[in-house]
């Protein structure tokens, strides 16, 4: 779903189960980047400036020009882009809001699984706010300050984080093959790469 586009960039609503960028092998070529290439033939070869996990749905911005890619990449690098995610967690989360600081790294023997490692891990930082509780599940809003792989999934599930995995998470929770991960990139704001005007986009989760 194309949320917005102009000559510089495109904002899409990525469905769960779709790769952000091509993977290895012919069966992993259907992805956001290749779909954008087909819709916008003049798009640069590498338009992605950030990624969402395959299982995560929601808003992504992709650059159509080299100048826009550079401008947007700097905004992400300098943490000037604001991002919110909505997630449903399996269990009741204590407290109403807080910050999670948790170092973790890739488990090289079990890719793409990420493991807690206070010595060699790189620290991820996430702000969270409880929105509601229903049927032993907690809806939260996450604001990731860093952008580590599987950050929100690890911060949700790990006992040193919230200790409650995201509903449908097959890696860190009780999700089964085919289950929907209840994690959605719901808000994205940044400045226009050509005129520097502030822009914001919102997409409500389907769960």
Catalytic residues: 53
Cα distances from 29 to residues 11, 23, 45, 108, in angstroms, run 20, 6, 14, 24
Contacts of residue 52, defined as CB under 8 A and 6 or more positions apart, other chains included, come to 14, 20, 58, 60, 185
Q: CA 151 to CA 100: how far, in whole Å?
A: 10
Residue 155 DSSP one-character state: H
Q: What angle do CA 188, 193, 197 make, to 5 degrees?
A: 70
Q: CA 123 to CA 176: how far, in whole Å?
A: 29
Backbone angles phi, psi at 33, to 5 degrees: -60, -45
Q: Is 124 exposed, middle or buried (0-12, 13-18, 19+ CB in 10 A)?
A: buried
Beta bridge partners of 65: none
């Amino acid at each position: 779903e194309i949320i917005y586009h102009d000559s510089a960039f495109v904002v899409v609503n990525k469905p769960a189960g779709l790769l952000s960028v091509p993977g290895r092998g012919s069966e992993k070529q259907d992805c956001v980047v290749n779909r954008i290439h087909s819709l916008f033939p003049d798009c640069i070869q590498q338009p992605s400036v950030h990624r969402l996990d395959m299982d995560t749905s929601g808003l992504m911005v992709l650059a159509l020009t080299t100048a826009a890619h550079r401008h947007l990449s700097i905004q992400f690098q300098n943490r000037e882009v604001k991002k919110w995610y909505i997630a449903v967690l399996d269990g009741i989360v204590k407290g109403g809001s807080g910050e999670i600081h948790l170092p973790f790294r890739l488990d090289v023997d079990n890719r793409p699984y990420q493991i807690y490692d206070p010595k060699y891990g790189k620290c991820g930082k996430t702000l969270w706010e409880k929105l509601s509780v229903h049927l032993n599940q907690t809806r939260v809003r996450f604001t990731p300050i860093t952008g580590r792989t599987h950050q929100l999934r690890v911060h949700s599930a790990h006992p040193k984080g919230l200790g409650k995995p995201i509903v449908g998470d097959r890696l860190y929770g009780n999700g089964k093959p085919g289950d929907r991960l209840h994690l959605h990139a719901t808000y994205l704001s940044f400045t226009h790469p050509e005129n520097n005007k502030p822009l914001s986009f919102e997409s409500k989760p389907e769960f």
